[in-house]
Chains A and B, each alone.
Chain A
Amino acid sequence: MELANIENLLEKYFEATTTVQEEQELQAYFSQNNVAPHLQEYQPMFQHFANLKSEQFTRNVPLKPRKNYLKWISVAAVFLLTTGLFFNEWKKQREAEQAFEDFKMTMSLVSESFNTGASHINHLAQFEETTNKIFITENN
């Protein structure tokens, strides 16, 4: 590679108008040992870029298929919570109904005995009738 060409490319390089290919030519020129003395000050720059390119990512990435446990756990939790609440509510309702039935039965029992009691009291009306008869006859 002739020197004039390299100088020309360098100039273009600093204006950033070189193509990738031309930059590769420059890179190749500066990576060899035979660099013209007045261009040697640019050598570290290109050498550094070449060094940087040799760095590699060595770590192994743990690519476990990340299962979304959390999602399913939350779904299950919500399900349990709602069924629990629903069941609780239903149980309460059942208890209330049961209590109401019991109360109804007791009340009907009470009213039944009350009725039988009341029917016995009916005899008392006889006294009134007879006393009335007596008083009415006296008055007449």
Chain B
Amino acid sequence: MKQADFLNMILPFKDKLYRLAKRLLVSSEEAEDATQEVLLKLWSKKSKISAYNNVEAFAMTMTKNYCLDKLKSKQASNLKLVHSNYKDENTSLQKEVELKDSVSFVHEIMEQLPEQQKIIIQLRDVEQYDFEEIAKVVNMNPTAIRVALSRARKYIRQELIKTHNYGVS
């Protein structure tokens, strides 16, 4: 496999790998590192790549495992990842600010989800994978995925409504 072929092959899903890594690792630098690592691993295995029937799912699984390993080693070394988004809030339109705030609030809620649900939400609601594709990546049966997905979505809704009604009720 030539380098150009490889680049063409990874082109459709390299952003997806990055987004999944970012969802799990939070920091965009680390997500980039993880994606690069996964792509290089894939490149070094290029002679066997034709044997995999679904390279994208395979790469996604690799990314997931790599990120979970990263998180685990980070926990072990007792390093806490702090990531804060500082924003200037100069937007004149009150409404827009509100919407933006709640959008970033959704982000915070998503970060509270357990890893498994984070992965599933990412694959389903952001990348629009169907259940069979998700099953390949997370190695769970579709029913369990459905349950986890429903739980995650309901959690986001519940937390959103909680802040929405904050100070009202």
Chain A residues at the B interface, C-beta cutoff of 8 Å: 13-17, 19-20, 23-24, 41-45, 47-49, 51-53, 55-59, 61-63, 65-66
Contacts and interface: CB of A to CB of B under 8 A. Distances in A.
B150 A55 contact: no
Interface stretch (B34-42, B48-56, B67-75, B77-85): B34-42
B103 to A, nearest CB: 5
Nearest to A48: B106
Given A16-B153, A47-B103, 9 more contacts: A14-B150, A41-B161, A44-B99, A45-B160, A48-B103, A55-B19, A57-B17, A59-B32, A61-B43
Nearest to B158: A14
Contacts of B127: 53
Given A14-B154, A59-B35, A61-B36, A24 B128 contact: yes
B94 to A, nearest CB: 14
Nearest to B110: A48
Interface residues of B, number: 43
Contact of B36 (A52, A59, A66): A59
The main secondary structure of chain B at its interface with chain A is helix
B99 A45 contact: no
B3 A48 contact: no
A109 to B, nearest CB: 70
Contacts of A20: 128-130
Closest 5 CB pairs of A and B: A57-B18, A16-B150, A44-B102, A48-B106, A16-B149
Interface of B: 3, 6-7, 14-15, 17-19, 22-23, 32, 35-36, 39-40, 43-44, 99, 102-103, 105-107, 110, 122, 124-130, 146-147, 149-150, 153-154, 156-157, 160-161, 164
B18 A55 contact: yes
A47 B99 contact: yes
A23 B44 contact: no
Nearest to B120: A16
Given A13-B153, A20-B128, A23-B125, A44 B103 contact: yes
A45 B15 contact: no
Given A41-B161, A45-B157, A15 B150 contact: yes
Contacts of A56: 15, 18
17 contacts: A14-B153, A16-B147, A24-B128, A44-B106, A45-B157, A48-B107, A49-B126, A52-B19, A52-B23, A52-B122, A53-B19, A56-B15, A56-B18, A57-B18, A59-B32, A61-B39, A63-B40
A42 to B, nearest CB: 7
Contacts of B43: 61, 63
Contacts of A42: 157, 160
A20 B126 CA distance: 11
